[in-house]
Structure 1
Amino acid sequence: MEGGKRVVFVTVGTTCFDALVKAVDNPIVKQQLSAKGYSHLLIQIGRGSYIPIKSEGEDGCLVVDYFTFSSSIADNIRSASLVISHAGSGSIFETVRLGKPLIVVVNEDLMDNHQSELAEELAERKHLLCARPQTLYQTISDMNLDSLTPYPPADAQPAAKLINRFLGFPDD
């Protein structure tokens, strides 16, 4: 990043996930991110009611800012050095496809928590790190981003061939 600016982007998607916002707003979590070399924390709070504490980065602390919604978070993900996200499949796949290091924080308050299965499977395959709000500090403290493996790019060729065959076009 230019000028040593290393951004941690946090997203809760369109949901309310105050537990995640509170976890990243915790002074010891912010201190750990700063100790890991991050300089900025940008939090997308969605429908949540918890408002994080803004900071201008004085005294060597992180610069902290937040917003509720954006028409697209792709630019935020692209400019981030680290993404911390809820376990929504859209946010997960958008982040890993862009090759960004990702910590997925599972919302244990959801009734049908199929999202945790996706996050845990991708963590097992070493494409991301998985945490709970109460374990986020420890996950950041222990994280070794070099241990993550890139998510393989999707190959649309088999699907295109199948569609072409179905439509009666010859295979190339």
Structure 2
Amino acid sequence: MKAVFVTVGSTGFDQLVSVVCSTEFINTLHLDGFGKIVVQYGQSEAFFHPPPNLDPSILISGFSYKKDLSQYYEDADLVISHAGT
């Protein structure tokens, strides 16, 4: 199963987090063979709402901050980031 890692850093990016949690975005990734999405949402936790009626084979998880993200980068087949200020 291919994995996506989305990271917004230690601040937040409400719009990015909202988009990656949208049904349309998740279904598009799933059609391309992605089955795992991990979102590091920083201060945008209020916008991290995975859709409730997704295909159960799609795994979505999220967290605000971790000191070391290297394992998430290594495990990802695709990294999505806002790329800093």
RMSD: 1.8
TM-score of the superposed pair, with normalisation by structure 1:
0.45
Aligned AA (1:23): V
Q: 1:68 aligns with which of 47, 64, 75?
A: 64
Q: Equivalent residue of 1:64, what SS?
A: strand
Q: Equivalent residue of 2:50, what SS?
A: coil
Distance 1:52 1:77 in 2: 22
Where structure 2 has 5 or more consecutive residues not aligned to the other structure, the ranges are none
Aligned residue runs from structure 1 range 12-91, under 5 A: 12-48=8-44, 49-53=46-50, 58=56, 60=57, 62-88=58-84
Higher helix share: 1
Distance 2:80 2:64 in 1: 16
Aligned residue runs from structure 1 range 1-172, under 5 A: 5-48=1-44, 49-53=46-50, 58=56, 60=57, 62-88=58-84, 115=85
Distance 1:41 1:54 in 2: 13
Give the conservation status (yes or no) of the 8 Å contact 1:16–1:47. yes
Where structure 1 has 5 or more consecutive residues not aligned to the other structure, the ranges are 89-114, 116-172
Q: Equivalent residue of 2:73, what SS?
A: helix
Distance 1:45 1:13 in 2: 7
Q: Which has the higher contact order (CA 8 A, sep 6+)?
A: 2
- Count residues with an aligned counterpart: 83
Q: Deviations over 1:75-110 (max 9, x none)?
A: 10011010011122xxxxxxxxxxxxxxxxxxxxxx
% of aligned pairs identical?
30
Runs of 4+ in 1 over 4 A off after TM superposition: 54-57
- Return closer, same or farther for 1:73/1:36 CA change in 2, 3 Å cut-off: same
Larger radius of gyration: 1
Q: Equivalent residue of 2:4, what SS?
A: strand
Distance 2:79 2:55 in 1: 19
